[in-house]
Amino acid sequence: MRNAIALPLLGLAVILQSAIVSQFPLLAGYADLLLVILAAWALQDGVTTAFHWAFLASIMVSFASHLPWFIYLLGYCGVVFLALTLQRRIWQAPLLAMFSVTFLGTLFMHLLSFAYLRLSGDNLPFSDSMGLITLPSILLNLLLAIPVFGMMRDLAHWVFPSMEEP
Amino acid sequence: MKDLLSRTLQTSIIFLIVGGILVLAFGGFFSSASNQLTGGFVSAQTWFATRYQAIQEFLAAPRDIVTLRTRNTELEAQVAQLQAQVINLQQAVNQTQILSALVNFSRTNPENSYVAASVIGRDPSPFLHYVIINQGSNGGIRRGMPVVTSDGLVGRVDAVIADAARVQLITDPASSVNIHLKNANTDAMLQGSITGDLSLDLISQDAAVEPGDLILTSGLGGGFPPDLIIGQVVNIHKLPAELFQQATVQPSVDFSRLQIVLIITNFQSVDITPLVPTPAP
């Protein structure tokens, strides 16, 4: 039942993303709070609802974005899949896993968005997109990764209290 | 009788002595002696008075500190409240200035009817240049309506829900606006980019375009009403080998600081998509 925290949390994250985070660009890129939250959530031990969260987040964010919902769904599910895969391989260094997922997840999400917009007919130069949007966004997401990972770890302990007991 | 005489004599002598002393004193003959005498008294009184005041301050001080601390806390709370009021008033002043400019704009363009809206968010994807406004279909907003500020054209409404709408800015990479270069008296096409820079394309090679030329909407295509200000030409790229000239544009609107916009509600955009020829399979 405590998993219902996803609704207000992701709703708040969409609002913060649209109203505040998007107002602080680095070059032409900005952080993706939802992506970082999903990556951090999926990396927590015992979390079994990461794909549900990704589905919910993609539906919510598509209300605010011109990009279609399935791009966000694919992107966020890809991030969760990446996190679950890396978690099994580098489980002893969760922060390293968090940075890796943030880096690769942002890259994947941006490549997906870029491919969709190019197929839609938008004139997006690849080098400009990488240099002015993707790389600054990766940097900003990496900056967000540590505090968000800490918050999501506390939240995971609250949602799954049995994890604290030996 | 003898006693009475002696008493009278004594009294007279005493009066004479006292009177003489007073006369001498008023005449200033006792000043050195009186100074020494009163100086001792004043010193002693000063010593007692200062000690008494010190003891009084010592006893009364704790109560004063508590009072002062209470007062200080009250004043700090009052200062914080006043600072919050100042910030609120500054925001109100800023908003009033923006609204005043918008009212002036709507007065100078009375042919259009407007709905004002606040910008409450931006598209979460950095590849897109869209803003979200707090007016929707309940406020009479429809898809395709042009959005302006007092400085010029902002974009057009892309999607609408009951109480909000998404506006595609003219800086979006997918945006293209038919424009008219006023000084050169020629038409061209304005395009956005991922960096938010605006550029002009499809300018005829014959057109004499100069930096500083004013750019207005042409109204062609039915997407926007004519004669809305967009900006000025900054640089021209003219190569004889190419079919058209290109130019970079300085927009008149600061898109990074959009707060309040006007939606032109009596303009019905024309959807020419069915008229655009599709390539044969």
In a domain, B62, yes or no: no
How far apart, in whole angstroms, are the C-alpha atoms of residue A45 and residue A84?
10
Is residue B56 included in any domain, yes or no? no
In A51-77, which positions are buried (b, 16+ CB within 10 angstroms) versus exposed (e)?
eebbbbbbebbbebbbbeeebbbbbbb
Query: What local confidence, expressed as pLDDT, does residue B12 receive?
Result: 83
The residue of chain B nearest to residue A60, with distances taken between CA atoms, is: B124
User: What pLDDT does residue A93 have?
Assistant: 76
B contact set with A (CB within 8 A): 120-128, 130, 132, 158-159, 161, 166, 168, 173-174, 191, 193-196
> Which range among A129-138, A153-162, B115-124 shows the weakest confidence by mean pLDDT?
A153-162
What pLDDT score was predicted for residue A95?
84
- pLDDT tens digits along B33-54: 777 777 777 788 888 888 888 8
Q: Of A10-19, A65-74, B129-138, B263-272, which gets the smallest average pLDDT? A: B263-272
pLDDT at A125 over 50: yes
Does residue A101 lie in a domain region?
yes
pLDDT mean over B78-106: 86
Number of domains in chain B: 1
The overall average pLDDT reported for chain B is 84
Tokens 């910008």 — which residue? B119
Q: Given a cut of 80, is residue A2 above it in pLDDT?
A: no
**Contact assessment for residue B263 and residue B156, using Cβ atoms and an 8 Å cutoff:** no
Q: How many other β-carbons are positioned within 10 Å of the β-carbon of residue A4?
A: 9
Q: Is residue A166 part of a domain?
A: no
Does the CB of A109 have a partner CB in chain B at under 8 Å? no
Nearest by CB to A64, from B132, B168, B194: name it: B132
Identify the pLDDT of residue B281: 57
Q: Is residue A117 part of a domain?
A: yes
3-state helix, strand, coil in chain B (%, to 5): 40, 25, 35
Residue in chain A lying closest to B157 (CA): A66
Residue B19's alpha-carbon distances to A28, B15, B24, B26, B130, in angstroms, are: 106, 6, 8, 10, 108
CATH number of the domain bearing residue A53 = 1.10.1760
A108–B contact, CB cutoff 8 A: no
The CA-based angle A67-A71-A77, given to 5 degrees, is: 140
pLDDT at A137: 94
Q: How many angstroms away from the CA of A105 is the closest CA of chain B?
A: 14
Among B149, B144, B179, B109, residue whose Cα is nearest residue B255:
B149
- Region A125-154: mean pLDDT is 91
B150 Cβ neighbours under 8 A, 6+ residues apart = B98, B101, B102, B104, B105
Residue A19 clears pLDDT 70, i.e. is over it: yes
Mutate to test the interface with B, among A114, A122, A132, A134 (most CBs of B within 10 A): A122
Span B50-71, pLDDT tens digits: 888 888 777 776 667 778 888 8
User: pTM of the prediction?
Assistant: 0.73
| Residue of chain A whose alpha carbon sits nearest to that of B255 | A23
pLDDT tier, B1 (very low <50, low <70, confident <90, very high otherwise): low
pLDDT at residue B135 greater than cutoff 60: yes
Domain that holds residue B206: 114-269
CA proximity to B178, closest of B223, B211, B241:
B223
Closest CA to A31 of A114, A111, A109, A124: A109
Of residues B84 and B241, the one with the higher pLDDT is B84
Distance from CA of B253 to the nearest CA of A (A): 17
Q: What is the pLDDT of residues B95-134, one digit of tens each?
A: 888 888 777 777 777 777 888 898 998 999 999 999 999 9
What is the token pair recorded at A90? Answer: 């580098």
Do A28 and B174 lie within an 8 Å CB cutoff?
Answer: no
CATH classification at residue B210: 2.40.10.340
Which residues form the domain of A38?
Answer: 2-161
**Is B176 within a domain?**
yes
Contact A64 B194 (CB under 8 A): no
CB B158 within 8 A of CB B208: no
Mean pLDDT in chain A? 87
Q: Which helix (H) or strand (E) holds A110?
A: helix A94-119
Between residues B59 and A148, the one the model is more confident about: A148
**pLDDT at site B63:** 67
Give the per-residue pLDDT at B62. 65
Task: Tell me which chain B residue has its CA closest to the CA of residue A111.
Answer: B127
> Is the predicted pLDDT of residue A68 greater than 60, yes or no?
yes
**For residue A13, pLDDT beyond 60:** yes
Whole-number Å distance between alpha carbons of B52 and B50: 5
**Residue B235, in any domain of the structure:** yes
pLDDT band at A113 (very low <50, low <70, confident <90, very high): very high
Report residue B205's pLDDT band, with 50, 70 and 90 as the boundaries: confident
Task: Note whether residue A137 is domain-resident.
Answer: yes
Q: Does the structure show a pLDDT above 80 at A164?
A: no
- Helix-helix angle A6-19:A50-64, to 10 degrees: 40
Q: Is residue B180 part of a domain?
A: yes
Q: What percent of chain A has a predicted confidence (pLDDT) above 90?
A: 39
Rounded to whole angstroms, the Cα distance separating B215 from A151 reads: 50
What mean pLDDT is predicted for residues B233-246? 85
In whole angstroms, give the CA distance from residue B131 to residue B155.
10
Residue B61 or B90, more confident: B90
Q: What is residue B277's predicted lDDT score, i.e. its pLDDT?
A: 67
Q: Do A64 and B123 touch (CB under 8 A)?
A: yes
Count of the separate structural domains present in chain A: 1
pLDDT of residue A105: 93
